[in-house]
Structure 1
Amino acid sequence: MNKKLSNKYLIIAPSWLGDLIMSQSLLKELKKQDPNCTIDVYAPKYTMPILDRMEEISGKLINPFDHGTFDLKERFKEGRKLAKNNYDTVIVLPNSLKSALIALFSKVKDRRGFKGESRYFILNNMRCNKNDFPLMVQRYVALAFDKNIVKTAKDLPKFAYPKLTVNKPDEEKIKELGLDFSRPALVLGCGANYGPAKLWPVEYFAKISSLWIKQGGSVIGLGSKKDIPTVQQIFSNIEDEYKPFFTDIAGKTNLTEALDIVGQCTAAVCNDSGLMHTVAAADIPQVCIFGSTSTNYTPPLSDKAICVESDEPCHPCFNRTCKYGHYNCLKKIAPEYVFEKLMSLLDKKRG
């Protein structure tokens, strides 16, 4: 009797960092089912360093298309190039039609994904029941199973959360950034590429920073180049006596440098963002702020996280900006309350 060969998977990954990190739960499930399977991930270039920290991945392939770019001719070429790798299964995680076209042109026989933008006949192993899997991570993991057996989230077995490999930060980089971990460090995830409806006010982050430093800690303002003005505003709102213990490194690290720095921290306070999911995958305690978005869709996948979510009647709207202009879903989450939650989380960890 011939032994069944292990599957060769192609994963067409999401472009958002947080979604990409959550997709590791799918990779872990595929490896659990078939430890010898091959998993190649097709993802944007900027995510490659993070993929290096996912031990389940066999190969990385760069998705060259900018967000929103269609370019049917080039997508056909990409698909035909991928076809040479002879994959058994391609799993399409983004909802877009254009991402599914890559799968179609790759001529992989088993093309899996959720319906998304009316992808009938493009995905031949398609699920049309998103509502039966409320959490994004549940939708991802469901694609590892036969849709006739795992029909709803209740049918899913317990699955593993993302867990990125965290290394000790480079000493020269730590020195260059002016970081000192002799005091317990709190990292701030104060950005969110999605839009202002995810951004907790800068003065609230400043208050949290002062409260943490007052208790003997230090604070790290982390983020991309887009977050530089936000971190600068937080710093300017901190009481002068506490400013020497605040280090602004926004825009000064790449993704894996940021991950390794997070791994040295005691705790974090984050908006619903890619950094929130990075902190969760680094296994660091955090309090997460949810304004326009909901924990019923993309919560941090960690048992060391506490989510603080708005109770405004318009929540969740999932809009990038507040249609009423007041952003009460964020403004009514007081920094003192968040700090109390943070302290209770750390007390629980110590206990």
Structure 2
Amino acid sequence: MNRILIIAPNWIGDAVMSQPLLATLKTIYPHCQIDVLASPWVAPIYRACAEVSQVIEAKLEHKQLQWGLRKLLAKQVEANQYQACFVLPNSLKSALIPWLANIPVRIGYRGEMRFGLINTALDNPSKINRPPMADHYLALSNALEHLQETNASKPASPKLNVSPVAKQSVSTKLEEACINQKSIYVLCPGAEYGATKRWPTEHFANLADQLISNEPDAHVILLGSKGDHALAVSIQAQTQKSTQIHNWCGNTSLDEAIALIGMSKVLISNDSGLMHIGAALKVSQVAIFGSSDPHHTPPLSDKAKVIWLNLPCSPCHKRECPLGHLKCLKDISPETILRNIQALY
């Protein structure tokens, strides 16, 4: 096997969870070139994967067919003469490009009536007995292992590398903001999925104040996308230590966010893509879960502490609390998170 293409998922956390698959493929085929077709949103994750030779960025929009663009991309892909392609999303659209590009072996899970587009298909696990996402993607490697009668040891958890360019860029920003690089706490208040994954802003504000009260030289950086900027503004407005609490939401590239998380003393986040990045960088972290299931999407790191109340109503996997109280998150106190942070030292 000389060249393999990966069709990337569209969520940052899922992209991180796919890295063990890449590492396993590289173990099976150490001389193989692994390329990834990804949206600009998740492309930085794959640039941080040591196994990836080339990231092909494609501005494919969610819920849009974009037939003309897919045909153009298929021509580009076909010229690279890949022997196999792993299609990680379950959608029909995601399977079109490798099919149009005539890649001989197209591997993925069955889904969305894509019979023929995927010619080496695995059954999707039931929603009741879903494995962790890293294992879900990793299982796809069995298709090639069986075809090649090859057996390989599998990595235990995702691993990302920090770009030296991004690290230098972040270091410059920290110096300009007079932030002590030796004691940075990164708080990630956002979660793209919705409110049922977001710990309340007043709790984040309380925690930020306590961290700085306990460690006067510390700085707290609020990190996230442009969509999280308002959450960070709300947190700053509720704090008493605002001069040491910095809103970087929407002001960093994903490459820089990876670098900043790698430099942090502790990462505190909701169940989000940035949580998985922290786990893949092996930084100390506390991950707060509400409506989602930490058995399915845990931070895969021995330096991670998961906080989940496991209420009778959770995990509900709803975007809005169906009972209207959001106790799964509101009842997790800042003091609980602080104790768990201190236990990581």
**CA displacement at 1:47 relative to structure 2:** 2.9
- Counterpart AA for 1:295: P
* 2:65 aligned with 1:70: yes
> Structure 1, residues 310-329: CA drift from partner, whole Å, max 9, x if none?
32222112122222222122
Cα 1:133–1:109 shift into 2, 3 Å: farther
Distance 2:176 2:320 in 1: 37
SS in structure 2 opposite 1:268?
Answer: strand
Distance 2:243 2:295 in 1: 39
TM-score using structure 2 length: 0.90
Residue in structure 2 matched with residue 144 of structure 1 by the alignment: 141
Cα 1:80–1:197 shift into 2, 3 Å: same
Distance 1:282 1:147 in 2: 28
Determine which of 118, 122, 139 is the counterpart of 1:127.
122
**2:292–2:314 contact (8 Å) kept in structure 1:** yes
Distance 1:115 1:176 in 2: 51
Residue in structure 2 matched with residue 26 of structure 1 by the alignment: 21
Taking the TM superposition and a 5 Å limit, the aligned residue runs for 1:292-307 are 292-307=291-306
Taking the TM superposition and a 5 Å limit, the aligned residue runs for 1:6-17 are 6-17=1-12
**CA displacement at 1:72 relative to structure 2:** 3.3
Residue in structure 2 matched with residue 349 of structure 1 by the alignment: none
Residue in structure 2 matched with residue 162 of structure 1 by the alignment: 158
TM-score using structure 1 length: 0.89
Unaligned runs of 5+ in 1: 1-5, 347-351
Moved more, 135-144 or 325-334: 325-334
Residue in structure 2 matched with residue 3 of structure 1 by the alignment: none
* 2:312 aligned with 1:319: no
Identity of aligned residues (%): 38
Cα 1:78–1:158 shift into 2, 3 Å: closer
> Structure 1, residues 185-229: CA drift from partner, whole Å, max 9, x if none?
210011111111111100111111122111113211111111111
Cα 1:40–1:95 shift into 2, 3 Å: same
Residue in structure 1 matched with residue 244 of structure 2 by the alignment: 245
Taking the TM superposition and a 5 Å limit, the aligned residue runs for 1:42-191 are 42-131=37-126, 134-146=131-143, 157-166=153-162, 167=164, 168-170=167-169, 171-182=171-182, 184-191=183-190
**1:7–1:88 contact (8 Å) kept in structure 2:** yes
User: Pairwise CA RMSD of aligned residues?
Assistant: 2.1
Count of residue pairs the alignment pairs up: 334
Unaligned runs of 5+ in 2: none
> Structure 1, residues 142-191: CA drift from partner, whole Å, max 9, x if none?
111238969xxxx9954242222124433432234443224x22100111
Residue in structure 1 matched with residue 276 of structure 2 by the alignment: 277
SS in structure 2 opposite 1:87?
Answer: coil
> Structure 1, residues 250-305: CA drift from partner, whole Å, max 9, x if none?
22111111211222211011001111111112211111011111112111121110
